[in-house]
Amino acid sequence: MKFTNVVIYYFSGTGNAKNTALWVSDEAKKEGIEVEIFNIAKIDNQEIPKPAKNTLIGFISPTHGFHFPAIMRKFVKTFPKSNNCSAFIMNTRAGTRIGNKTICGLSGVLHYWSSIILIRKDYKIVGLLPVDLPSNWISLHPAIKQIGTELIYKRVEPKVRQFTKEIINGKRNYKALFDIIQDIIISPISILYILFAKYFFAKSFIASSDCDMCGLCEKTCPVQAIKQVDGRMFWTYKCESCMKCMNDCPHKAIETAHGFLIVIWFLTSLFVGYLISYLLNYQFFENWQLLQNENIKSLIVSVAIFPFLFIGYRLMHWLMRFKLFERIFVLSSLTKFKFWGRYKAPNKGIKECKK
């Protein structure tokens, strides 16, 4: 069955998923199909009407911690039930280049989780495609050079267009299933990311003295996670670490506080080590020997770090009003180094539909 109407819902930080949505839209229009595109960060999913009969629905989003980010997970979960409709799922994931080779990213559980949710809503899944666009996660690695970004885009775009052409003309494409073994292997990381890393990374961003309080990051944050506190930009736990603010800041004033995170982890480890030694000395628990297990210790540190992180981030935010501390926090950040750079996705000029 060839579809006559396609509706695309996307979430994007720095533009990879947004550009993917544009390719899908453009290819569908070439086939004479009516297309609507919605940025889910700008619409209220509670007001989305039930899709028209025989509509093809697309969900396109980055991969965060080998899953969809929370905003897309919530969107899929609350999406209206099917009216004899089909759906496809696409995720942009951390592709990179080594020499002339394009290295694929990992998808994790997002295709399987989303498919189960949508099938239970009576959607027919006609396509699952991972899209290996450049990694924008410069908190963890230097930005990919622009020439590398352009080359990756040039190689990936035809694959997205071919996928689109197939599914809108009634074929099915489940390329994501080729990665099912490695996806299963890394699936525990998806759970750990949801429980821990999302909140950990949310407290890693700071604005240096280069910030002129233009408010661009606050205005354009897709999840409204940034606010002004005591005259400085402050990142809340709503943050999806999509990297939009850091990569888009005109003054490159937003940094990842690597030194701060290392200190917090060190202090938490010291505290947990002291606490365990105390408990072992007095043998408060019947199975106190379990505390000597390194895996148990690591788990305790992972849980205990959150109060340290919450208090520490507040303290760091306050201390940054003083030039000495501001310089210490900023200069201990890897993102401050010039070679680290910032990520810029090619601008495809997508037009959004608004309700």
**Which residues contact residue 85 at a Cβ distance below 8 angstroms, ignoring those fewer than 6 apart?**
51, 52, 53, 54, 55, 56, 57, 123, 124
CATH T-level topology, domain 5-189: Rossmann fold (3.40.50)
- What does the pLDDT read at residue 1? 62
Of the candidates 38, 34, 48, 36, which has an alpha carbon nearest to the alpha carbon of residue 5?
A: 34
Quote the pLDDT of residue 301: 83
C-alpha of 28 from chain center:
26
Model-level pTM?
A: 0.89
- Asked whether the predicted pLDDT for residue 337 surpasses 90, the reply is yes
Which comes out higher in pLDDT, residue 50 or 354?
50
- pLDDT of 237-272, one tens digit each? 999 889 999 999 999 999 999 999 999 999 999 998
Q: Which pLDDT band holds residue 277 (cuts at 50, 70, 90)?
A: confident
Place of tokens 């004033």: 253
String of DSSP letters for 213-258: ---HHHHH-TT--EEEETTEEEE-TT-----HHHHH-TT--EEE-H
Mean pLDDT for 204-231 is 94
pLDDT band at 81 (very low <50, low <70, confident <90, very high): very high
Q: What is the pLDDT of residues 133-168, one digit of tens each?
A: 999 999 999 998 888 899 899 999 999 999 999 999
- Centroid of chain to Cα 182: 19
Low-confidence winner among 61-75, 78-92, 132-146, 292-306 (lowest mean pLDDT): 292-306
- CB of 316 within 8 A of CB of 330? no
Domain map (residue ranges) of the chain: 5-189, 258-332
| pLDDT interval class at 332 (50, 70, 90) | very high
Confidence of residue 104 (pLDDT cuts 50, 70, 90): confident
Mean pLDDT across the chain: 89
pLDDT band at 300 (very low <50, low <70, confident <90, very high): confident
Residue 266 is predicted with a pLDDT of 94
Residue 295 has pLDDT above 80, yes or no: no
Residue 284's pLDDT band, with cuts at 50, 70 and 90, is low
